[in-house]
Structure 1
Amino acid sequence: MPEMVGGERVETKILMLMVIFAVVFPLVLNRPLHKIGAQKLKALGMNRFNYDGEPVLTAGGLILVCSSAITGIVLIGLLLLRGVNSELLLHGFLFLTGMITMAFWGWHDDRASDRDAKGFRGHFGVLWRERRMTSGMWKLIGGTSTAFCLTLSLSNTLWAGFVAFGLLALCPNIINLFDLRPGRAIKVFWCLTALAGAFGLWTIGASAAMANWIFLIPVFMASMFMFPHDVGGKIMLGDTGANALGFAAGFSFVIGTPIYIQVSMLVLFLCLQVAAEFCSFSRVIEQVGWLRRLDQWGRATEAENKKNQTGSSGLV
């Protein structure tokens, strides 16, 4: 919870001003960043074939990260201008550092050409058989190292640090596991952050929960603007976007929920990670009616508009 700055009234005023900036800046940045970002991705040859064999731009999460990072820097600048020296400022620095770094490792994987290895078993298998580091293995090492370094500043006990490390390291990969169909990863991100927000309101109160969400609002807004492009099969989030959204979701649990909620989510993520090595989430979603309807939400309308073409936001 942020420290009081000149009393409750001043702190509330600052927080409300930050909320306005967190909502307005992504709105203003959306169109120019998307136009410039799409042009740059095309120039860099960031085209991939989706699960349906259609060519789609990948690494579109770069646009989302740029929007969130610019807005986050503005929010930190606002705090510094107002002379706020609190836990909220520390969380802002850590959040931006972690999100940008995680996105960098995802970008490295998006740019790579060695895309044959899948899952932990695939990447470790290549390392064992060929003594070769895949881009996915570099992403794994970079992501876990980033999570470990951030955990040192976020937690003051060994147990809390272990749980926070697990959430920050695993959540980006969980989002990436679902990034196989149009809009699916963003929907999972929304569900996870909604859970974190609900648990935060229930356990730590509205004012503290709002403070914890200040730096997450720009990411949420940017994901809303990215959703039509993603679900329409026009651009994929890629590992760049999946890593950024996954880190944001994990961070929301670490700073905004009690330890028993964090432990429960960590166990859930571990179970999902193990399950992903042995079964297809896409097949499970297709077999469960309500999951299939949720997965298709938004995509069906876009498919009708495109007449027989279905896009995707992920690779097989």
Structure 2
Amino acid sequence: MLEMVGGAGVETKIIVLMLLFAVVFPLVLNRLLHKMVTQKLCALGMSRFNYDGDPVLTAGGLILVYSSAITGIVLVGLLLLRGAKSELLLHGILFVIGMLIMAFWGWRDDRASDRDAKGFRGHFGVLWRERRMTSGMWKLIGGTSTAFCLSLTLSNSLWSGIVSFGLLALSPNIINLFDLRPGRALKMFWCLTALAGAFGLWIMWASAATANWIFLIPVFIASILMFPHDAGGKIMLGDTGSNALGFAAGFTFVIGTPVYVQVCMLVLFLCLQIAAEFCSFSRVIEQVGWLHRLDQWGRATGAENKKNQTGSSGLV
């Protein structure tokens, strides 16, 4: 467990204090960050057409990124003040840094104007035909490089490093693949973290698992607070939010579950990525009854979307 100055009593106190901060900070920051970020996005002209053809603010995932990052920095600060020398501090720092970097590459893509190329085939196709780097290709390179660097630090063997790299590189894009309808990416994030939690119960005694869930709590709470705005058609997560949530989910599996679970999830992610190149997930979801009901849960109707957009942002 944690090797902290002051013994086991201080260890328990700091864990409890961190849990308290992890829950309270996102709740306190949410309203202020939502107002500041939406005003900034409006000023930058960050409006995109959604699946209904209506203009909606995008890159709203900045709200949960800022909230999670600020809270994460506070949690790391608490550990440093207590003289922590453990995996908890290392994983916390890597989690915050990794999420911010992945969000940056998503933000760069949200800001770009070259949005015609879709999927790996589309981006590689533009590179091959036009000898031009799309914003999506830069995001791919940046995200892959980040995943590689983090996997070197998180893994203690070649095999676990390969698996960690695959999960951290693919998980942001997996969430992004589902960010095609209001609320869908958030639900996918919740499903993945629920799976990680279920499988991770086997090793919850380990400090790595404890660290994972302490630093994941602010992201989870921020995503819940974001859900009414996203599902209500008022604002889109964008690649900024999808990348951050995807990284958080991948990181959850890497340090919170056994390696055989990570291998299974990596295979699943690879299958989803390949399938996305050849079929529409939206069409599949619409054709499967229980998936369609889950997809529709919490989502406003088209008429309500227009009303929400008009009333909240004045974009329509």
Q: Does 1:57 align with 2:53?
A: no
Q: CA deviation at 1:112?
A: 0.3
Query: Within 2, Cα distance between the matches of 1:156 and 1:48?
Result: 43
Question: Once the two structures are superposed, what CA deviation does each residue of 1:190-248 show, in whole Å capped at 9, x if it has no partner?
Answer: 01011111111134448763332111111111111111000001000000000000000
Q: CA deviation at 1:188?
A: 0.3
Alignment of 1:69-148 (within 5 A): 69-148=69-148
Identity of aligned residues (%): 81
Q: CA deviation at 1:158?
A: 0.4
Q: Does 1:22 align with 2:59?
A: no
Distance 1:310 1:282, change over 3 A: farther
Query: Within 2, Cα distance between the matches of 1:116 and 1:277?
Result: 15
Specify the SS of the correspondent of 2:56: strand
Q: Match for residue 277 of structure 2?
A: 277
Distance 1:3 1:265, change over 3 A: farther
Give aligned pairs, total.
309
Query: Within 2, Cα distance between the matches of 1:307 and 1:179?
Result: 17
Q: CA deviation at 1:12?
A: 2.1
Alignment of 1:234-253 (within 5 A): 234-253=234-253
Q: Match for residue 219 of structure 2?
A: 219
1:197–1:209 Cα contact (<8 Å) kept: no
Q: CA deviation at 1:9?
A: 3.5
2:234–2:305 Cα contact (<8 Å) kept: no
Give 2:52's aligned amino acid. Answer: D
Q: Match for residue 33 of structure 1?
A: 33
Question: Once the two structures are superposed, what CA deviation does each residue of 1:168-192 show, in whole Å capped at 9, x if it has no partner?
Answer: 0000000000000000000000010
Query: Within 2, Cα distance between the matches of 1:308 and 1:216?
Result: 33
Query: Within 1, Cα distance between the matches of 2:241 and 2:50?
Result: 16
Q: Does 1:151 align with 2:151?
A: yes
Q: Match for residue 169 of structure 1?
A: 169
Q: Match for residue 233 of structure 1?
A: 233
1:52–1:310 Cα contact (<8 Å) kept: no
Alignment of 1:170-189 (within 5 A): 170-189=170-189
Query: Within 2, Cα distance between the matches of 1:9 and 1:294?
Result: 44
Give 1:198's aligned amino acid. Answer: A
Question: Once the two structures are superposed, what CA deviation does each residue of 1:154-174 show, in whole Å capped at 9, x if it has no partner?
Answer: 011100000000000000000
Q: CA deviation at 1:41?
A: 0.3
Where does the alignment leave 5 or more consecutive residues of structure 2 unmatched?
A: 310-316
2:185–2:242 Cα contact (<8 Å) kept: yes
Distance 1:203 1:193, change over 3 A: same
Q: Match for residue 314 of structure 1?
A: none
2:65–2:244 Cα contact (<8 Å) kept: yes
Where does the alignment leave 5 or more consecutive residues of structure 1 unmatched?
A: 312-316
User: What is the RMSD of the two structures over their aligned residues, measured on CA atoms?
Assistant: 1.7
TM-score normalized by structure 2?
Answer: 0.94
Q: Match for residue 312 of structure 2?
A: none
Query: Within 2, Cα distance between the matches of 1:52 and 1:246?
Result: 25
Query: Within 1, Cα distance between the matches of 2:85 and 2:58?
Result: 39
TM-score normalized by structure 1?
Answer: 0.94
Query: Within 1, Cα distance between the matches of 2:141 and 2:87?
Result: 28
Stretches of 4+ aligned residues off by more than 6 angstroms: 307-311
Query: Within 1, Cα distance between the matches of 2:154 and 2:23?
Result: 26
Give 1:275's aligned amino acid. Answer: A
Give 1:303's aligned amino acid. Answer: T
Query: Within 1, Cα distance between the matches of 2:188 and 2:264?
Result: 17
Query: Within 2, Cα distance between the matches of 1:304 and 1:180?
Result: 15
1:65–1:100 Cα contact (<8 Å) kept: yes
Query: Within 1, Cα distance between the matches of 2:10 and 2:264?
Result: 36
Give 2:287's aligned amino acid. Answer: Q
Q: Which structure exhibits the higher relative contact order, with contacts defined as CA atoms closer than 8 Å and separated by 6 or more residues?
A: 1
